[in-house]
Chains A and B, each alone.
Chain A
Amino acid sequence: MINILKSGTAGMRGESLKIDNISNNVSNVNTYGFKKRDVNFSDLLYQGKEQRGTPVAQETTTGLMPQTGRGSQVTGNSLNLKSGSFVETNRSLDVAIEGDGFFGVEREEGAIAYTREGAFSLDEEGFLVNSRGYRLMGELNPLPPEGGLEGIEINSRGEVFVEFPQENQEGEDNRERVLLGRLDLFTFDNPAGLASLGGNLLEATEASGEALPGNPEEGDLGSLRQGFLEGSNVNLMEEMSQLILSQRYFQLNSRSLRYADEMWAMANQMKR
């Protein structure tokens, strides 16, 4: 009986974790650059039933003794790196990555975090920063104070140009185009093993391996698209159908718990 209880509890625990995960995915359905997580399950140990006193056959056609399982476990929730759909924003500092790379940002203690969210802005010194105010990684010079936001161009290779008006002697509007530098992108041996830090940031772990730096349009890092943002890769329909299933599976496991309880009560009531 204790085994039925354990299988039921394990199933309920797993499904509730899955529901937690679904609710996190759903609440980030509008988060730019968000990557959803998938929960994976596996079965637990199996135990042979050939103990003395248990009514099991001594010889079977396959030669295998009957065994029963001990429930299920969650083996991990890995990042799903499917690309989200691109949303046009026409903002000069919105950049989407068409490929597998990640932007790198420098956090307070010099630690580096990675993100797919490309909504950048400028800090007071003219450096490109993400929505949290962390500076973007790359060989970048700060924007000169006279340059405006409209004049910034980021091409598919990650090169950042700025144009600012310069009037020459004849009074003609002669725009000057200056290269500020180039953005870095990062990739990982196992990007599914990245850890979430919150605030749309990811962190390298032992499972993901060290970050491999590069520039856009190298390898599979991908090219950049200015004026676009990458939407969340959460599919609401899919999450909802998963939610319905998980809820029913949870109920079913609670049912097997109740059955075990009832059976135990019956065994106890045998001698009144």
Chain B
Amino acid sequence: MIRGLYTAASGMMTEKIKQETMANNMSNLSTSGYKRDQSVVSSFPHMLLSSQERSAGFMRLPALGSINLGALVEENITQHSQGQLKQTDSPLDFGLEGEGFFAVMTPDGVRYTRSGHFLRDSQGNLVTDQGHRVLGEGEEPLVIPGEDIQVDGEGNITSRDQQVGRMLLAEFENPETLRKEGSNLFNVTEGTQLVNQEGLNTTLHQGFLEGANVDLAQEISQAMTALRAYEMNQRVIQTQDELLSKCANEVGSLR
């Protein structure tokens, strides 16, 4: 009985985490370059249940079958599928088609982003709307002139037919190992492997922004399911409570 209580409670907590993840996805529907998270739930390790009986002086443990004691969040996976490219006509908006990322310099080091809404600051640096400098080839921050910026699909920046730099695009063998840091930034982790610069398969579109890859209908239907699953687990706890109450107050009562 006590086991069952915690099984249901773990279900409630898991559904709550799922709901949190989806609330965050929905909150970022307008965030350019946002990649949705998906909670993956699995069950606790199975265990074998056996009954204890004593016959003729020694223990026998006949197996009753397996049981598992609840659910847990296995992973929160970021889905790196392509978001919709929306035309903005601003010369410093860039959308990526493919699996690449822009590289930016933050006070904590190099970070990667899919949000290509850039600005030119008063020193001529190309910066993100958070003020982080966008990196070019050789991880050098990009400085661009103020007029006539043209960027081709590979990231070559030209101004008045003069090449002024090249945007650094990064692709990863295993983008699922990237970690979100907020402010549209991703950080690499131990297992992350960069793809060679020659093997890039990303096209850059000037004057476009990539929308979030969150699907409204999917998100809301999953949120409803999670809500009802939460409710069901709550009912299970109530039932368990009633059973315990029967045990304590009716079976054990001395009239």
Contact = CB atoms under 8 A, between A and B. Distances in A.
B85 interface: no
Nearest to A56: B73
Given A43-B31, A220-B146, A220-B147, A270 B234 contact: yes
B10 A15 contact: no
Given A3-B23, A8-B23, A78-B129, A68 B191 contact: no
B74 interface: yes
Contacts of A75: 129-130, 183
Contact of A55 (B30, B70, B146, B174): B70
A64 B223 contact: no
Interface residues on A, range: 35 or more
A68 B227 contact: no
Contact of B27 (A253, A266, A267): A253
Contact of A263 (B90, B180, B230, B237): B230
B122 to A, nearest CB: 3
Interface residues of B, number: 74
Given A7-B23, A62-B177, A220-B147, A189 B30 contact: no
Contacts, number: 220
B73 A66 contact: yes
A52 interface: no
Given A41-B28, A252-B26, A259-B19, A81 B121 contact: no
B147 A256 contact: no
| Interface of A (DSSP majority class) | mixed
A224 to B, nearest CB: 18
Given A55-B72, A259-B227, A266-B234, A41 B30 contact: yes
Interface of B: 10, 12-17, 19-24, 26-32, 34, 37, 39, 42, 44, 70-77, 88-90, 92, 115, 117, 119-124, 129-130, 146-148, 174, 176-177, 179-184, 189-191, 216, 219-220, 223-224, 227, 230-231, 234, 237-238, 241
Interface of A: 1, 3-4, 7-8, 10-11, 14-15, 18, 38-46, 49, 54-57, 60-64, 66-72, 75-76, 78, 80-82, 100, 187, 189-190, 192-193, 206-210, 219-220, 245-246, 248-249, 252-253, 255-256, 259-260, 262-263, 266-267, 269-271
Given A68-B37, A72-B27, 9 more contacts: A3-B23, A7-B26, A11-B26, A43-B184, A72-B31, A208-B122, A249-B30, A259-B23, A269-B234
20 contacts: A7-B23, A11-B23, A14-B30, A41-B28, A41-B30, A49-B76, A54-B13, A55-B70, A55-B71, A62-B77, A67-B179, A70-B182, A75-B183, A80-B89, A81-B90, A189-B124, A189-B146, A252-B26, A256-B22, A256-B23
